[in-house]
Amino acid sequence: MTSLPNLLRAASKLKYEHADGEYIDFYPEPEFEAPEETRRWFMAWTGNPIADYSPFLVFGGDGTGGRAAVWRVDGEKPIEDQPIVFFGSEGELGVVAANSRAYIRLLAGGIGPYEAIAYEGLQRPVHESFAKLASDNGIDLSSDLWEVVRSAQAAFPNFEAHIRALCS
């Protein structure tokens, strides 16, 4: 089984609740999901028993059953440099961040995978625990939060169409 990259592992250990009681709707796993479980989930999500699930490494989900995954789209890049994507329980779908560092930037801004896809423009207070993780790892917190999402989606414009084409 493939291990979580260091940043995702560190993020999985933090509390997703803000000091004011707000929370990021995400429940991380300490390791990537087992391939057999990912196969069953992807088959159910797409309705396609032969859809290729292997590019996706699921590392958590939201309260409704949506899942976040690393999408291994470029075999030349390490896992931490691959995009983060989200598959919602009600068909929401999209690229969340271009890589693990950009994903941590979103979490520092109080935005999780579901929020990044479903609530463009949502403004939340800085999440101090993730901001510290970002700062400790040299991640720039001055970048526009929603530009992180838009630039990731622009970098992978065919993701949604590709996945929808797999659905039966």
Residue 23 in domain: yes
Q: How many domains are there within the chain?
A: 1
Residue 94 in domain: yes
Q: In angstroms, rounded to a whole number, what is the distance separating the alpha carbons of residues 75 and 95?
A: 18
Residue 75 in domain: yes
Residue 10: domain span: 6-163
pTM, full prediction: 0.95
**C-alpha separations of 110 from 24, 148, 165 in Å:** 6, 13, 32
Q: In angstroms, rounded to a whole number, what is the distance separating the alpha carbons of residues 105 and 140?
A: 8
Residue 88 in domain: yes
Residue 1 in domain: no
Confirm if 145 and 57 have CB atoms less than 8 A apart: no
Residue 168 in domain: no
Residue 67 in domain: yes
pLDDT in tens, the chain (168 residues): 678 999 999 999 999 886 666 789 999 999 999 999 999 999 999 999 999 999 999 999 998 999 999 999 999 999 999 999 999 999 999 999 999 999 999 999 999 999 999 999 999 989 999 999 999 999 999 989 999 999 999 999 999 999 999 998
